[in-house]
Structure 1
Amino acid sequence: MTRPGAPLPSLFGRAIERVSSAPEADDGVFDAALAVLAERGTRAATMDDVAARSGVSRATLFRRFGGKDALFEAALARALRGFLEEIGTAFLTVTDPVERIETAFVACLRFRRRFIAGNSDPAHGATLVAMLSTGDPSPLELGRRFIAARIVAGQAEGVLPAADADIQADAIIRLTLSYLVLPSALYDLDDIEVARSVAREAIAPLITGIPG
């Protein structure tokens, strides 16, 4: 019988603590682990599944990680670090506030697909909310603080109008989360250009005050 794994929010919470030390190697193994996790969930997923997907033997996986929970934690930590690096790079290299929002929104959608795999089952959406709400501060709160800080900086630079940055950041986080949890049936957010259009038309005006 397959041993039930730790709930995804618990794995994600521990992965957050490991972000700075997430392994550099084993990209193929970690990609396989995330794919299996997205398809089967923590209860049904097994080391055999990851071994079959990655081409690395079950014995080798156990020797290197000790068990499936540790493997999934490491894979999530690696994915989270990559996401944070992508967002950080975007905000360093992109100066236009609207383009920054477009880039960050696309990155959020891509990150969601890594472990939800486009599954629209409400249970998967609930898992995502629980995962992003885990920790003190949680990823959602860290995201809100980051956005608020960038809004304040933009206001100081004169590229954004004066407003309550905390309220704006909270609204952006909540709106973005709704797209992650309840993908629209009206348009395909897997299409990057469509996703950027949604960010430009629906999210950016929250801070620019200018219709998309």
Structure 2
Amino acid sequence: MSDSRLLRDLLTPPEDSGPQVDRILDAALELYGTFGLRRTTIDDVARASGLGRATIYRRFPSKNDLVTGVLLREARRFFAELDEAVAACSTLEDRLVEGFATTLRISREQRLVHRLLVLEPELLLPHATGQAGPLLAAARGYLARRLRAAQRQGDAGDFDAEVVAEILIRLTHSLLLTPAGHIPLDDEGARDFARRYLTPMLR
């Protein structure tokens, strides 16, 4: 999947959605978090959702499609919560500060990712490290769009939005992979750090 397509899929609600799809994804999410990806079958999801195999296959033709569906919905929830958290902030600096703290908090609370790191680290870790390029590029695109919008509105200085977005995304990615260190990751500590060290990049 290309970087631009991944970003589009993350930011665009799927056309084929509704209560039935949510039942399938809810069941799969619970099973993946309990048993992992390998041990969970389409039959398991069918039983947990109360739907037939044929119904699931009509929505998700393969197990990989179902896994992708679950992960994309979790990512959309993440971006929606992030957008909501910064919506009331009046300045770009405040949005960066609140967005940084919120990203760290949401990531700490993401049950599926943490469970998979315990159950099947060999599956997840490559996509979070050496193969994380497409995901990082999509996150950079998400943030760069918002930085450019602020520049067009006169709320930000003259800087390269892609570069600033990449710095912020890579810093956050590093903190999530290796949280132990001197930078505080609790909400207030993260806000103080961001205001002191990250907001100067916006001027």
- Normalising to structure 1: TM-score of the pair? 0.61
**What CA distance in whole angstroms lies between the structure 1 residues aligned with 2:67 and 2:197?**
36
Tell me which amino acid in the other structure corresponds to 1:21: E
Q: Which has the higher contact order (CA 8 A, sep 6+)?
A: 2
Tell me if structure 2 keeps the 8 A contact 1:16–1:77.
yes
Tell me which of 37, 41, 50 is aligned to 1:46: 41
Q: Deviations over 1:43-81 (max 9, x none)?
A: 3322344345x3525645456544433322322333233
Determine the structure 1 residue equivalent to 2:66.
71
Pair 1:84-2:79 in alignment:
yes
Tell me if structure 1 keeps the 8 A contact 2:82–2:103.
yes
**What CA distance in whole angstroms lies between the structure 2 residues aligned with 1:167 and 1:41?**
36
Q: 1:40 to 1:88 in 2, by over 3 A?
A: same
Tell me if structure 2 keeps the 8 A contact 1:160–1:208.
no
**What CA distance in whole angstroms lies between the structure 1 residues aligned with 2:198 and 2:148?**
10
Tell me which amino acid in the other structure corresponds to 1:43: R
C-alpha displacement at 1:208, in angstroms? Answer: 1.7
* Structure 1 residues without counterparts, runs of 5 or longer: 1-12
Aligned positions, number? 188
* Structure 2 residues without counterparts, runs of 5 or longer: 1-5
- Normalising to structure 2: TM-score of the pair? 0.63
Determine the structure 1 residue equivalent to 2:127.
127
- How large is the RMSD of aligned CA atoms in angstroms? 4.1
Tell me which of 105, 112, 120 is aligned to 1:115: 112
Q: Deviations over 1:75-119 (max 9, x none)?
A: 233323333333444454433435423245524653672531356
**What CA distance in whole angstroms lies between the structure 1 residues aligned with 2:73 and 2:90?**
27
Determine the structure 2 residue equivalent to 1:30.
25
Q: 1:119 to 1:167 in 2, by over 3 A?
A: same
**What CA distance in whole angstroms lies between the structure 1 residues aligned with 2:168 and 2:142?**
11
**What CA distance in whole angstroms lies between the structure 2 residues aligned with 1:34 and 1:131?**
23
C-alpha displacement at 1:174, in angstroms? Answer: 0.6
